[in-house]
Amino acid sequence: MLKHIHLLFVVVLVVSFIGRVVLAELKPALLEQKWLKIGPHVIASLVLLTGFALVFQGGWLSAEFAWIVAKLLMLIVYIGLGIVAIRQPGRSRWLAFGGALICLYYISKVAVTKQVFFFF
């Protein structure tokens, strides 16, 4: 059940990120609304909380679970690229947006395969 809740929050996070990037491009003034500033932080917090709960529930705190560390590091990269994608105009926005989507793909692939270097 917790896994499904976590996945639901992840989907909401991805959809809201894509929506905010589109708004930043088309109607940047809308991003000044309070709920659009606070909402993404609430969603990201719920993703992290349910993710940590899954780690503890699954007993994945030993050194053999490097894939969790890889996901957390890539999450930090995703956050940085997401900030650039929303705040910077033009080509920088779209390069950061593409990079952020690649990060999300990597995180999801590692979550499924439990392999940090799944591409080798």
pLDDT at 56: 85
In the predicted model, is pLDDT for residue 66 greater than 90?
no
Q: Predicted confidence band at 78 (pLDDT cuts at 50, 70, 90)? A: very high
pTM of the model: 0.84
User: In whole angstroms, what is the distance from residue 43 CA to residue 28 CA?
Assistant: 21
Does residue 74 carry a pLDDT above 70?
yes
CB 44 within 8 A of CB 6: no
Residues in contact with 78: Cβ distance below 8 Å, sequence separation at least 6, in sequence order:
100, 103, 104, 107
Say if residue 120's pLDDT is above 80. no
What is the per-residue pLDDT for 35?
Answer: 93
- Please say whether the beta carbons of 111 and 74 come within 8 A: no
According to the model, what pLDDT value does residue 59 have? Answer: 77
Amino acid 63: pLDDT: 64
Round to the nearest angstrom and report the end-to-end CA distance of the chain: 32
What's the mean pLDDT in 33-40?
92
pLDDT at 91 > cutoff 80? yes
- Measured distance CA(87)–CA(21) in Å, rounded: 9
